[in-house]
Chains A and B, each alone.
Chain A
Amino acid sequence: MKNRLKVLRAERDWSQAELAGRLDVSRQAVNAIETGKHDPSLPLAFRIARLFDMRIEEIFDDEI
C-alpha cells in the first residue's frame, strides 16, 4: 500500500526514530511502512492520521 508518510515526515523535519517515538512503534516499523513493505494495523493507521491531523485515506492509498 502506497502512503505519504515519508513526505509528511520530511515536511516536519522529523527523523524516523522521532516519528517512531511519537507513534509508539520502533524505527524499523516506520521504515517498513514508509517503503510500503508493511501495512499498519488499523489502530496504528488512526494514530498516524491523528498525529498529522489528516484522514487515513489522505495518507494511505490502496488503489495504486
Chain B
Amino acid sequence: MPYNPKAYNPPEMDRSYLYRYFWAGAVCCALTCANFFLRYDGILPAWIMGGAIGGVLASSINGRADDYFRSLCAVGHKWAMAVLAAYLFAMFIAQSSDLGVSPGQVAFAGASAADMTAKTAILFDGYMLALCLSVAFYAGYIFQWARDHFGASEEE
C-alpha cells in the first residue's frame, strides 16, 4: 500500500495543542533572548532554546495545522522575512561601503577577521540573526493574535 501522508487525521484536541506549543515556544524564545544578555551557562538555557524552536517548527509543519493557525503563522513569517531583508540590506551597505568582512570571505579569500570592528562584527553573528528572526516570527504571530482578539470586531 502506498504511503498516504494525509491518512492520519488528528483529532481536534491535537490541533488545539499546536496553539499551546506556540505559546510555550514564545515564552522560551523570550527567555532565550534574556539569556543572550545574561549569558547564564548551563543545561537549562539549552533546553529552553530547544523549546523556542518548537513554535517555529510547528509553524513550518502542515500536518496538524489548520487554516487559522497557518494564517497567524503567515504573519509571523512575513515579519521574520522583513527582519531578514533589513539585515541583508545592512549587509549590503556594509559590504558595498567596505565596512565589514563576511565569514565566507574570511574562510575562502583570506581576508582578516581582525579587520572587522565591533560594530560591523555584530552583523555577522549568525546566532544573533537566528534569534532576531525567531523573535520577529513570534512577535508577528502575537501581533496578529492580539489584533484578532482585542481589535475592533466586524459586528461593531
Contact = CB atoms under 8 A, between A and B. Distances in A.
Contact of B68 (A2, A17, A21, A28): A28
Nearest to B19: A28
Interface string B5-18: 00001011001101
Nearest to A43: B67
Given A17-B12, A21-B11, A28-B16, A36 B67 contact: no
Q: Interface residues of A toward B: which range?
A: 20 to 34
A37 interface: yes
Interface stretch (B42-50, B118-126, B147-155): B147-155
A55 interface: no
Contacts of A27: 12, 16
B67 A20 contact: no
A38 B154 contact: no
Nearest to A20: B12
Interface residues of B, number: 18
B19 to A, nearest CB: 5
B148 A37 contact: yes
A58 to B, nearest CB: 19
A36 B11 CA distance: 24
B66 interface: yes
Contact of A41 (B11, B67, B148, B155): B67
Contacts of A35: 148, 153-155
Interface of A: 1-2, 17, 20-21, 24-29, 32-33, 35-38, 40-41, 44
7 contacts: A25-B12, A26-B16, A26-B68, A32-B148, A33-B68, A35-B153, A44-B67
Top 3 nearest A-B pairs by Cβ distance? A29-B68, A26-B15, A36-B154
